[in-house]
Each structure stands twice: as structure tokens, then as C-alpha cells.
Amino acid sequence: MKILVIGSGGREHAIITALSKSKRLTEIHAAPGNGGIAELATCHDVKATDIPGMVKLAQEINADWVFVAPDDPLVLGMVDSLNENGFATFGPRKNAAILEGSKHFSKDFMKRHAIPTADYESFTDSATANAYIKAKDSYPCVIKCDGLALGKGVIIAEDETAAFTAVKDILDGGKFGGAGGRIVIEEYLEGVEVTVLAFTDGKTVVPFPASTDHKRALDGDKGLNTGGMGVVAPVPYYTAEIADECMEKIFLPTIKGMAEEGRAFKGCIYFGLMISPTFPDKCSAKVIEYNCRFGDPETQALLPLLETDLLDIIESVWEEKLDTLDINFSNLKSACVVMASGGYPEKYSTGFTISGIEATANPQDGVHVFHAGTRIQNSELVTAGGRVLNVVGIGETLENALEKAYSAVKSITFEGAHYRTDIGKKAIT
Ligand code: AMP
Ligand code: GLY
């Protein structure tokens, strides 16, 4: 089996690490890849969003499978083009990736299928949006760009002035370009956030253990929103009862609804959930967002817990036979701490030497170091992005997993390195 993985972050490094364990794998390629991925795969300098370039590369290397990991190429329809050119793929086609590509679509979809989510309306015109905000008169309220906006298109407005400003910036000021041509305004939900990733072939849903990301840059959930600064899994407050409720009211209706609408979703679906026992109608979980892909950094914490061959899984998803495969996860706990460049998510410098990884990473002992933003420069590993490394600890308890991750983090150095010191605190107290 010859496989090409699209992407260049810690998520892709974790995916490639998991695929590399498969006995059936003969060759692995990545585009564009990074400094860590280059140790396992042949990296090709093709941009993740370059659809014709990627089809050409798949033809050149004669790939058996193409695994499309990031949101942009999925939403742009890379899977469709690869399929039309005869390649087997992992990832949803464009008409299913819209679940992440358009919040307006996903909110209307949930309404059509009675899937629990925050109340909302969509707008393209600021005067009508402002009239809705005034009539609701309930704060905070949440204002979201319809399209992909690098995780920055969600504004939690604390009062009317902030809400009007957000509407004006997005709809009239074009702050997020085409992604903000339409907005969704929705009710603010109180609770704890949980991510559930699941494999699906369009019929069967197989969830991973629940995880929780830490989106803010600084300890105590302070500072700016980031792509994610750390993850723990599983989370104790995602109980077996809540898991059953989510399967019945959210996961299966989503997959069934998409199939009924001629948008069968095949790949990994990301359910961003708000959990609160105080929601009305005895409903404990509501959907905050769908993503059409593996989460980053959730994947880095979760894939080391997967005991089943990932290649077998992607094959059964492609062949729509997921119900015939036994998928097992270890009972161990996982913690991922993100080491970022000083200044991230705002301005930061790159090109700093990274040291200490080799002496620290020890997968046999439950310490994994995935590269998120690194490159090789003059035979040396240097920083090349905002999020640089994802350090994962696997242990018998969450405390033990966190100890392993933080002990490894302390042994790795690069100039300006920043990480949160409170990952998982809420899950263990
Ligand atoms: P999204 O891109 O839709 O996941 O939104 C980004 C973040 O904004 C989420 O991870 C939540 O922390 C927050 N958020 C989004 N929607 C809501 C909501 N309706 N109520 C409370 N927080 C929200
Ligand atoms: N960790 C958030 C995301 O992947 O969108």
C-alpha cells in the first residue's frame, strides 16, 4: 500500500505515525509535510490547497490512497477531484465537507433534522442583523462568519455595542473576506466543551474517546483564541449516559441526515459539543460546531490510544464496511501539551534551533513528540510555525499522562518557547 497524506501539522505527523505502524504499508508520502514528518515519509513541495498539483503528484507516485487531512482542501473539493481521477481517498467529498465549510448550512441542517444546537438566525445585511440583536437583547451573544476563517471567525459579544461592531466589521467591513459574506447570530451556551471525533462511512459511526481542547493562549483560559494549546482524553464529565444520548440524538441523526440529503459523509467527523445538565428538554449536549476532519491537536492525543490498524479503518470507511470492523481503543489516558513560538497567536519569529527531542521522545514509554511547525534548515531542526511541537504523554491516569507530557516539555528547548501549564486541570479536579 502506497499512501499520500495531505497536510503539514502535528495532526498529520500523528496520522503518518499511526499509518506507519501498518504491516501493509509499503510507502508513505506527504505534501507538504514538515521536519518531523520527513523522518517517516517522503515530503513533496505541493501546497495543501493545490488540487490539480495534488492530483498530478498522486499520479506521479502512483498512490493507492490519498488521505486528505486539513479543512481547506476538503471544503474546496480535493476528494472529488482525486476520486474522478481514480484514487481511493479518506475524507469527505465537497458536498459533505460543507458541514464545516458553511455554518449557515450546518445550522439549517441541524434544524431540519432536530439535532440539538443553539438557537440562531443567518444574515447577509447588517441592518436586519442589528434589528435581530436588539430584539433578542440577550448577552453575551455569538456572531459567526459563515465560511472558514482560520478559527478566528467567531466573536462572543458581551453587549450590544460589541455585537453591532462585530456585525459591521464582518458584513460591511469585509474583515474575513468571502467567509464573512453571511453571518450566523446564535444564543450563547454555558457549559463545558467536549470534542468527539468519529470514524464514519456514511452509515456507521465509531467515536473516539471524548477529548477537550484548550483554545486560549494563556493559563486560566486567558489571552487570545488559538488553534488549540493542549488536549486531554478521555474527559470524566463525558459520562456513558451522555455518550449514549449523543449517539442517539446527535451522531446518528447527523450521519443519517447527511446520507438522506445525498451528502453521505465518509471520513472523520468532528463534533464540537457543549455539555450542560441544565439545558431544557432533558438534553445534556448541544452541537457548537461540526468539522469535517480530524481535530488538531485532538488527533495527537487520540491516535496513540487507537489499537486497530488505521489503514484497515480507512479501507473499511472507503468500502462502506465500517460495521464489519472491530475498532479498539486502549483504556489508558492521554495528554497533549502544545509548545508554541513566543508571541503566538500574534506575531512571532521562526528559525530557532530546537533541541532535546531525541533524548525525550520515547513512544514505548508513552511519550510522543509530534511536529506541528518545524523544518530542517542546514541539517538542523528549527521552528517554522506558531504551534511548533505537540508533546503527548500516555499513562494509567490523567495525572500520570500529564506528568509525562510536562516532564518531556521541560526537556525540550527553543528560543521563546511558550506553553500552558494548566492543561487538563479542570478534568482532574
Ligand atoms: P466554533 O468555531 O463554532 O467552534 O467556535 C469557536 C469557539 O467559540 C468554541 O470553541 C466555543 O468556545 C465558542 N462558542 C461558539 N459558539 C458558542 C455558543 N453558542 N455558546 C458559547 N460558546 C460558543
Ligand atoms: N482543535 C480545534 C480544531 O481542530 O478545529
In our burial notation (b when 16+ CB lie closer than 10 A, e otherwise), range 141-159 reads bbbbbbbbbeeebbbebee
* Distance (Å) from CA 397 to ligand 1 centroid: 29
CB 149 near ligand 1, within 6 Å: no
Contact between 143 and 154 under an 8 Å Cβ cutoff? The reply is: yes
216 lines ligand 1 (CB under 6 A): no
Instruction: Establish whether residue 193 lines the binding site of ligand 1, counting it when its CB lies within 6 angstroms of any ligand atom.
Output: yes
SS3 state at 336: strand
Q: Is residue 429's pLDDT more than 80?
A: no
* DSSP code, position 79: H
Q: Candidates 71, 117, 142, 225: which one to mutate for ligand 1, based on the most atoms within 8 Å of Cβ?
A: 142
Report d(CA 54, CA 112) in Å as an integer: 36
Q: What is the mean pLDDT of the chain?
A: 95
More confident residue, 149 or 100: 100
Closest C-alpha among 177, 4, 211 to residue 90: 4
For residue 277, name the pLDDT band (cuts at 50, 70, 90): confident
How far apart CA 328 and CA 339 sit, in angstroms, is: 29
Q: Are 314 and 92 a contacting pair, CB within 8 Å?
A: no
Q: Is residue 265 left, alpha or beta, with left meaning phi > 0 and alpha meaning psi from -120 to 50?
A: beta
Does pLDDT of 393 surpass 70?
yes
How much is the pTM?
Answer: 0.96
Closest ligand to C-alpha of residue 11 is 2
- Ligand nearest to C-alpha 228: 2
> What is the DSSP code string of 34-75?
-TTGGGTSEE----TT-HHHHHHHHHHHT-SEEEE-SHHHHH
How confident is the model over 130-140, as pLDDT tens digits? 999 999 999 99
Residue nearest atom 4 of ligand 2, based on CA coordinates? 295
Is the Cα torsion angle 31, 57, 84, 27 positive or negative in sign?
Answer: negative
Output the nine-digit C-alpha cell for 249. Answer: 440524538
Q: What is residue 175's predicted lDDT score, i.e. its pLDDT? A: 87
Find out whether the beta carbon of 146 lies less than 6 Å from any atom of ligand 2.
no
**Alpha carbon of 316 to those of 18, 88, 267, 305, 321: distances in Å?**
16, 11, 10, 19, 5
CA of 241 to the centre of ligand 1 (A): 23
pLDDT of residue 321 exceeding 70: yes
Query: CA 200 to CA 237: how far, in whole Å?
Result: 24
What is the side-by-side strand order in the sheet with 230-233? 212-213, 230-233, 333-340, 387-395, 367-371
105: phi > 0 → left, psi -120 to 50 → alpha, else beta; which?
Answer: alpha
Tell me which amino acid residue 282 is.
Answer: K
Residue 247 exposed, middle or buried by CB count within 10 Å (0-12, 13-18, 19+): middle
- Which run of H or E residues covers position 29? strand 27-32
At 31-48, the pLDDT tens digits run 999 999 999 999 999 999
Q: Using pLDDT thresholds of 50, 70 and 90, give the confidence band for residue 150.
A: confident
Ligand nearest to the CA of 272: 1
Name residues whose C-beta falls within 8 Å of residue 22's C-beta, 6 or more positions apart in sequence. 1, 309, 310, 311, 312
Whose C-alpha lies nearest to ligand 1, atom 7? 154
Instruction: Report how far residue 106's alpha carbon sits from residue 22's, in angstroms, rounded to the nearest whole number.
Output: 35
* Closest approach atom of ligand 1 to CA 144: 3
Ligand 2 atom closest to Cα of residue 293: 4
- Ligand 1 pocket member 47 (CB < 6 A): no
Give the mean pLDDT of 296-312.
Answer: 97
**Helices within 228-385 (DSSP H only):** 240-246, 252-260, 298-302, 310-318, 357-360
What pLDDT score was predicted for residue 280? Answer: 65
Cα 386–chain centre separation: 16
pLDDT (tens digit, 9 = 90+) per residue, 160-218? Answer: 999 999 999 998 888 888 788 899 999 999 999 999 999 999 999 999 999 999 999 99
Ligand 1: which residue has its CA nearest to atom 15?
A: 288
Whether the pLDDT of residue 388 is over 70: the answer is yes
Q: How confident is the model at residue 151 (pLDDT cuts 50, 70, 90)?
A: confident
CB atoms within 10 A of CB 39: 15
CA of 326 to the centre of ligand 2 (A): 27
pLDDT category of residue 281 using cuts at 50, 70 and 90: low
Judge whether residue 279 has pLDDT over 80.
no
pLDDT band at 352 (very low <50, low <70, confident <90, very high): very high
Residue from 150, 211, 291 to probe ligand 2 pocket by mutation (most atoms less than 8 Å from CB): 291
* Lowest-confidence pick of 76-80, 275-279, 336-340, 379-383: 275-279
